[in-house]
Structure 1
Amino acid sequence: MKSTRVVFVHGAGTFGAAAWPRQHGMALDFDCLFLRRHGFDPVLEPLPTDFLADQQIVRDALGEGGHVVAASQGAVSAMMVALERPELVKSLVLAEPACLSLTQELPATAAHRARVEPLFARAADLTDAEFHREFARAVFASEPRPLMSAEDRHRARRLRMQAPPWEAPLEIVPGVPTLVLTGGWEPLYEEVAGYLAGTGAVHRVVGGGHRPQDTEEGNALIREFVRSHAA
């Protein structure tokens, strides 16, 4: 199956191959591409979220078609491509998808938005460190670790420039085989997963917090799902 394309789309943290430490080995069996979304660069200054630019990056990476594995906010552009060009997407694996446009009327998403929307509204008036600290308090109810390194500060600036995921132009779900993995720790992501399961997706709770793809079970499910739909 070496010629089978598998495209990996990261979330808001690390990017490229570093975002998928448990999936590196899939490159032995598949043609794997580990993407870097718009505005994510190890050297250049971060850029604001551009959902359409991310969609184009995923679409171009698929070439003549393949499978997409996406995490958190990366799931938004993955689903946008599957809606626009369903013939290109053979299957979708979504780890804790932040597809909040779909569920913004549901209780957990509405409560999350009520907590963090005022923070996003003030983002331009805050420093990177201030936004980073208030985001951690609002979303994780905890104090973040200090921004010690240049990489930490770069990441904090990028976080402040991210658009709220409920602003993504995503209103319906694609009709392609879909596996949703969640960590079972946060009602917000379980709500999104439940919504997707109601439209035909397979949902599995595997632990691992916001990174279920890093668990042994999550990694095995990803490999099995892609392989089964590539056969």
Structure 2
Amino acid sequence: MTRARDRAKKGDLFGYWQIVKPMLFGKTATGDAWDKDQEIAARFASLEAPWGHQIDPAFARSVPTLVLTGGWNDEYEAIATVLAQAGASTVVLTGKDHRVQDHPDFHATVEAFLASNRW
């Protein structure tokens, strides 16, 4: 995401979208779709990144928390480790990278977590 945001800052919005669209939407950014995608890309590029907000991982001690990762990004795995140390349940579902929600075991994993954490 850092590389994508750097491209957007340099005015290369399509370069940004070539990285972001596959990660977030599971689709390839193409020149043919650019007229339709450009407004969406500009909106996403203008959003403040959700990291760096000093969230205290201790929240995971008081609220049942499930952290799902794809096992493809060391930074995400490091965050998951910190949250696990604070009490979160973590599961790695490999094979779908950033789109862990597309993994065939995703729904069963979430449902099992919810069933074991009725509050």
TM-score by length of 1: 0.39
Query: 1:56-205, aligned counterparts within 5 Å?
Result: 116=3, 119=6, 123=9, 126=11, 128-133=13-18, 136=19, 145-147=29-31, 148-174=33-59, 175-205=62-92
Give SS of 1:132's match: helix
Residue identity over aligned pairs, in percent, reads 28
User: SS where residue 66 of structure 2 aligns?
Assistant: strand
- Which amino acid is 1:214 matched to? D
- Aligned counterparts of 1:172 and 1:223: Cα–Cα separation in 2: 23
The one-letter code of the counterpart of 2:75 is: L
Alpha-carbon offset, residue 151 of structure 1: 4.1
The structure 1 residue matched to 2:97, chosen from 209, 212, 230, is 209
Q: Deviations over 1:167-223 (max 9, x none)?
A: 435244412111111111111211111111111111111122112222222210101
Equivalenced residues, count = 109
Does the 8 A contact of 2:57 with 2:83 survive in 1? no
Q: Distance in 1 between matches of 2:3 and 2:49?
A: 9
Change (3 A) 1:170 1:229: same
Change (3 A) 1:151 1:171: farther
How far apart, CA to CA, are the structure 1 residues paired with 2:110 and 2:39?
30
Q: What RMSD, in angstroms, separates the aligned Cα atoms of the two structures?
A: 3.1
Extract unaligned runs of 5+ from structure 2.
Answer: none
Q: Is contact 1:132–1:156 with CA below 8 Å preserved after alignment?
A: yes
Length-normalised TM-score, structure 2: 0.69
4+ aligned runs moved over 3 Å, structure 1: 115-118
- Where relative contact order (Cα < 8 A, 6+ residues apart) is larger, the structure is 1
The unaligned stretches of length 5 or more in structure 1 are: 1-111
Q: State the SS of the aligned residue for 1:216.
A: coil
